[in-house]
Amino acid sequence: MAKLYINEKNKKGHINAEIYGHFSEHLGRCIYEGLYVGEDSDIPNVNGMRKDVVDALKEMKIPVLRWPGGCFADEYHWKDGIGPKENRKKMINTHWGGVVEDNSFGTHEFFELCEQLGCKTYVNGNVGSGTVQEMSEWVEYITFGGVSPMSQMRKENGHEKPWTIDYFGVGNENWGCGGNMTPEYYANLYRRYQTYVRHYDDAAPIKKICCGANVADYSWTEGVLETCFKSPQPGEGFGPKGYMDGMSLHYYVYPGGWEVKGSATEFDGKTWYKTLAKAAYMEELVSRHGAIMDKYDPEKKIGMAVDEWGCWFDVEPGTNPGFLYQQNTMRDALVAGLTLNIFNKHCDRVKMACIAQMVNVLQSVILTEGPKMILTPTYFVFHMYKHHQDAELVDSYIEGNQMVGMEDEYQVPLLSESVSVDKEGYVNVTLSNLSLSEDAPVEMAFAQMNPAQVSAAILRQEMHAHNTFEEPENVKEEVFDAFEIKDGKICFTAPACSVISFRIK
Ligand code: AHR
């Protein structure tokens, strides 16, 4: 029997809603088909945005959306994507599948989408192949409310009022596809480019995100911070927090090697544990990059933005290899449950995270095929975790949590959990059983609370289970009522290969 002790009175930090963020790139069928079908499409849409997809994302409570890339961002020239659609430039999407990008989804469409979703905006600028002027003018075009050449152009293109940029990424993966730079070179460019990301509206300052490391490249984090971290100095006019408000980290989980990553749907038990052990490595990455950030920023004024994470498998057989389309099974759900628990527990430093990518690419929450849409197991995990958004993390500890796996190398904890208390006073518990075979009896005990109102949901299936367009409801969130309240404790059995969420008062 595992004992889950919760001290609901010991608040440990604020869980930023943006930890539950998403990423959309001009890649494969993410933007086109997945989100945007155009106003003339037979697929029901509002101003070109798919209604079914927007409704599902709102129900999941999407807090922030990153766009337009990824690697695409450092090749994107925003002026190609504004003005009358028939005049917009057609170009080759060299990174992703070599297909024609007709720029029919651009700045206006992105902000329209975020308005429909009711989410914050995260725009990623181009440092790799763009100029300082281009970046500066994009920010002016989007956010300046007064009289200027760029705000005039926006008005002529049909949008009188400025929009709000909540987050702005100054380049993407500049150690790789964003220009193959050294940390010092990028950091100096960062200092320069970010200077011209102006705050035109003091009431809505743009949070600037500096490009951080790939996986365990700690020398990148150190080198960049050494060159361009600047402590906030009152009255210096660099924005509220010096040169940067956040630093990114990218980490993808693939069970095989980079060339052959492994199938999304066909895998054995060993690969199950290997994948989860690789997902659990996020804990070490966040801690070690965080420790370097602590050296420069002991007060934790800048946030870590894990703005690309998730499972990356071989593409679905028969699909364009450049489109990165993959299926999503219970294994993805457990990776999501485990990773989101890690982020919650590190909410003092992790302020944002964006799973890659939202629709039809990598670990998506939604897949589409023509007019059809399915929700993936990962979708339900985000849905079950949504009450953690903007709640306070509280102390939790599992006694008797053993390690499970098939080989010494790929051991993972049987159970993973995180607990928060939200504004309405509910205690939210999310718990995953990572074992393939062992059901886990759990006793949940509280410091003071005597649970009176308890509701719970579960996602449970065998490891390969997934939804298809033919069987769209094979895996879905269900009500979980197999628990008992005894002497103020909640007792239940967490089935093998499951994710459970509780809401308790
Ligand atoms: O998400 C796919 C790609 O992975 C992104 O474009 C890039 O930033 C990362 O390497």
Tens place of pLDDT for every residue, the chain, 505 residues? 999 999 999 999 999 999 999 999 999 999 999 999 999 999 999 999 999 999 999 999 999 999 999 999 999 999 999 999 999 999 999 899 999 999 999 999 999 999 999 999 999 999 999 999 999 999 999 999 999 999 999 999 999 999 999 999 999 999 999 999 999 999 999 999 999 999 998 888 899 999 999 999 999 999 999 999 876 555 554 444 579 999 999 999 999 989 999 999 999 999 999 999 999 999 999 999 999 999 999 999 999 999 999 999 999 999 999 999 999 999 999 999 999 999 999 999 999 999 999 999 999 999 999 999 999 999 999 999 999 999 999 999 999 999 999 877 899 999 999 999 999 999 999 999 999 999 999 999 999 999 999 999 999 999 999 999 999 999 999 999 999 999 999 999 999 999 999 999 9
Coil, helix or strand at residue 466: strand
Using the atom order of ligand 1, give the atom closest to the CA of residue 172: 8
Rounded to 10 deg, the angle between the 282-296 and 330-345 helix axes is 30
How many other CB atoms are there within 10 angstroms of residue 43's CB atom?
Answer: 17
Quote the pLDDT of residue 434: 98
Nearest to 339 by CA among 436, 246, 249: 249
Q: What pLDDT shows up at residue 366?
A: 98
Give me the pLDDT at residue 3, please.
98
Gap from CA of 229 to ligand 1 centroid (Å): 25
**Residue 308 Cβ < 6 Å to ligand 1:** yes
Q: β-strands 454-460, 478-479: how paired?
A: antiparallel
pTM of the model: 0.97
407 is catalytic: no
- Report the mean per-residue pLDDT for the chain: 96
Res 73: pLDDT: 98
For ligand 1, say whether the CB of 162 is within 6 Å of any of its atoms.
no
Q: What is the pLDDT of residues 209-257, one digit of tens each?
A: 999 999 999 999 999 999 998 765 555 544 445 799 999 999 999 999 8
Residue 238 has what pLDDT?
42
Question: 285-298 b/e with 16+ CB inside 10 Å = b?
Answer: bbeebbebbeebbe
Residue 234 is predicted with a pLDDT of 56
User: In angstroms, what CA-CA distances link 30 with 36, 57, 367, 370, 448?
Assistant: 9, 14, 9, 13, 47
Distance 200 CA to ligand 1 centre (A): 30
Q: Choose which residue among 30, 211, 308 to substitute to test ligand 1 binding: the one with the highest number of ligand atoms within 8 A of its C-beta.
A: 308
Distance of alpha carbon 149 from its chain centroid, rounded?
A: 35
Point out the catalytic residue in the list 8, 75, 109, 308.
308
Q: Which pLDDT score, from 0 to 100, does residue 240 have?
A: 47
Catalytic residue among 109, 112, 173, 417: 173
